Amino acid sequence: MEEPLCCCEYVDRRGERNHLAACCCDCQELDESCDRWLSCRSLPPGALERIADTIADRCRVPWFAGAVKVNVSLVPPMVLLPVFLHVAALHFLLGLVVLTSLPAVVLWYYYLTHRRKERTLFFLSLGLFSLGYMYYVFLQEVVPRGHVGYSQVALLTCGLILMLVALSRAKKDPGYLPISTADDKPSQQAFPSKNVRGSSNGLHGAAASGHSVNGESKGHSRALAEGREGVKMDWCAKCQLVRPARAGHCRLCGRCVRRLDHHCVWINSCVGEQNHHAFILALLFFMLTSLYGIMLTLDTICRGRTPFTALFYCPGAYSDYSSALSFTCVWYCAIVTAGMGYILLIQLLNISYNVTEREARLALRDNAGRRLLGGLVIDTGQYNRGFLCNWGHFLSLGSPPQQRSAEDIV
């Protein structure tokens, strides 16, 4: 019988028993990389990824039933964000450098994780910690100046709470399709014809053409099946199930989602049929709360100026460190709000044309859509039924389908 793990022991990613005291030992990838670097030789492909995986596997804290792994992506926002903002508050030029480099670093990390096709808690941690830290600075540096009333603080707090509630609902089930078991998997004989091939993208047009898109199942698609009401459905070779139209397979979550819109890194989850409403509400509450907090802060540290003018011209912003820190946080919030505002705008336009982000991306890949409003929206023309009908369809997402009587069917 194998002995239980002590508080400092753990089973590493290779399945071997290890100890926290040996976390700096036996790192073959790091040793080899250092030898190549000292000898001016190039690193082998994937060396940095293997080193990062080893470091992430060994970042653990002692626990009763064995050392618990700590997600490394949670740490940088909590440590680096306050440091960078305090450094930016020291001088105007330092603030300019920090506030322009932060978005660049975030975008670089986004493309890095997107290329590696892996889930990360970095963006969710960055968003939540930014909210908490901005609220802390507002209470510590802005409210004590006496220009913000209790009712305004209460209104800002309510907006923050509503945004967090909407975010928690958006984190729930986006509409995952149930995974088929070995007993209820449909056989290939249940499909209409072997000669009719469908893609894994869930789009009628692409399915009819037989092209495989989105890298989901090139050469693995199977025949289309007809739903009970004549709606085309297709086969997902990875989940081994038949899924309805507009559903898609998320490579990061490894699941099929009803009416998949996209995988949002800011909530570390997919946006689908069940949580699209909550996702829009979270963005809307964030925009309103952030803009209100920016206006209150600018009105406090730049008296007598409009918020837009004070954002670009506030002579007394760096007169003391408290004002400088508040002004720096205002600009950080403004940058984040601008990015979230762009996401909200794209979402509202897509809803107005009844197209998802995934469908728009696939339409661009297949040259099957029209660019409208300067390329902000891609109209596939497949589900667009007019502005009011499209919004009515969106508002009805997640509701149970209407039961039809036998007379209506006949």
Q: pLDDT, tens digit, for every residue of 157-172? A: 999 999 999 999 999 8
Q: How confident is the model at residue 188 (pLDDT cuts 50, 70, 90)?
A: very low
- The single-letter DSSP state of residue 186 is P
Per-residue confidence band for 295, with pLDDT thresholds at 50, 70 and 90: very high
Nearest residue to 233 via CA among 256, 252, 253? 256
Judged by DSSP in three states, 70 sits in coil
Q: What is the Cα gyration radius of the chain? A: 26
Backbone angles phi, psi at 89, to 5 degrees: -80, -10
Q: What is the dihedral of CA 391, 396, 398, 403, to 10 degrees?
A: -150
pTM of the complete model: 0.78
- CA dihedral 231→232→237→240, nearest 10 degrees, is 30
Tell me if 227 sits within 8 A of 247, measured CB to CB: no
Tell me the per-residue pLDDT of 303-342, one tens digit each, with 9 for 90 and over: 888 988 999 988 888 989 999 999 999 999 999 999 999 9
pLDDT of 392 > 80? The answer is: yes
Report pLDDT for 316.
82
Name the pLDDT band for 77 (thresholds 50, 70, 90).
confident
Q: What percent of the chain has pLDDT over 70?
A: 83
Q: How far apart are CA 11 and CA 276, in angstroms?
A: 39
HSE toward the beta carbon, residue 238, CA cutoff 13 A: 18
DSSP state of 152: H
Rounded-to-5 percentages of helix, strand, coil across the chain: 50, 10, 40
Instruction: Give the residue numbers marked as catalytic.
Output: 264
Q: Which is higher by pLDDT, 408 or 403?
A: 403
pLDDT band at 45 (very low <50, low <70, confident <90, very high): confident
pLDDT of amino acid 141: 93
User: Average pLDDT, stretch 233-244?
Assistant: 82
What's the pLDDT score for residue 241? 86
Average pLDDT over residues 224-237: 57
Best mean pLDDT range from 58-67, 214-223, 345-354 = 345-354
The whole-number pLDDT of residue 341 equals 95
Asked if the model's pLDDT at residue 214 lies above 60, the reply is: no
DSSP state of 142: I
63 or 271, higher pLDDT: 271
**pLDDT at residue 372 tops 80:** yes
With a pLDDT cut of 90, the percent of the chain lying above it is: 43
For 114-143, write each residue's pLDDT tens digit.
Answer: 777 778 889 999 999 999 999 999 999 999
Task: Determine the Cα–Cα distance for residues 128 and 126; give it in Å rounded to an integer.
Answer: 6
On whether the CB atoms of residues 175 and 250 are closer than 8 A, the answer is no
The backbone region for 355, taken as left when phi is positive above 0, alpha when psi lies in -120 to 50, beta otherwise, is beta
Instruction: Out of 182-186, 223-227, 233-237, 289-293, give the one with best mean pLDDT.
Output: 289-293
Q: What is the mean pLDDT of residues 23-47?
A: 76
pLDDT of residue 195 exceeding 50:
no
Who has greater pLDDT, 406 or 135?
135
Per the model's pLDDT, the better-predicted residue between 88 and 213 turns out to be: 88
* Cα distance between residue 49 and residue 267, in whole Å: 24
* pLDDT at position 71 over 80: no
Helices 122-137 + 150-170 axis angle, to 10 = 170
Q: How confident is the model at residue 191 (pLDDT cuts 50, 70, 90)?
A: very low
Both tokens assigned to 71: 């997600």
Task: Please tell me the distance from the alpha carbon of residue 168 to that of residue 199, in angstroms, as a whole number.
Answer: 33
| Confidence band, pLDDT 50/70/90 cuts, at residue 257 | very high
